[in-house]
Amino acid sequence: QVHLQQWGAGLLKPSETLSLTCGVYGGSSSGYYWSWIRQPPGKGLEWIGEVNHYEGTNYKPSLKSRVTMSVDTSLNQIFLSLSSVTAADTAVYYCARQRKYPFIQPFDIWGLGTKVTVSS
């Protein structure tokens, strides 16, 4: 059974860089798209971007200037970096798996989430 484990710093100061890792266990990271999705306290879900080993990345336009995602298939890990954070970036961050071939599917497996707080 595939599951995702997330880790990274949970408390940041404004202007710092958020760095999170999502590990894939019980399966492979190859051949899938991996998204990061966040949820501010008491609010809904916001898609941040996606990464695929072969086809690269896509980011939400409003976050594109600050986001970097990558995947290391040898480690089965997916990475998120978000620079110049502010209080508005405070949220629970999830990684999630998506299949696009042979036909596109929604996010079927999610990590448990990492709570990130930005505060001075």
Partner 1 sequence: EILLTQSPGTLSLSPGERATLSCRASQSVSSTYLAWYQQKPGQAPRLLISDASSRATGIPDRFSGSGSGTDFTLTISRLEPEDFAVYYCHQYDRSPPYTFGQGTRLEIK
DSSP state of 29: S
Contact between 68 and partner 1 by CB under 8 A: the answer reads: no
**By CB under 8 A, residue 112 contacts partner 1:** yes
- Contact status: 61 vs partner 1 (CB under 8 A): yes
Among 14, 83, 84, 108, binds partner 1 (CB under 8 A): 108
Q: Given candidates 21, 23, 27, 46, which one binds partner 1 under the rule CB under 8 A?
A: 46
3-class SS at 7?
strand
Q: Beta 11-12 vs 114-118: how paired, if at all?
A: parallel
Q: Percentages helix, strand, coil for the chain, rounded to the nearest 5? A: 5, 50, 40
- Of 54, 65, 88, 106, which one interacts with partner 1 (CB under 8 A)? 106
Among 102, 104, 119, 120, binds partner 1 (CB under 8 A): 104
E-strand ranges in the chain read 3-8, 11-12, 18-25, 33-39, 46-52, 56-59, 67-72, 77-82, 91-98, 107-110, 114-118
Give the total of residues touching partner 1 (CB under 8 A): 21
Interface contacts to partner 1, rule CB under 8 A: 35, 44-47, 49-50, 58, 60-61, 94, 98, 104-108, 110-113
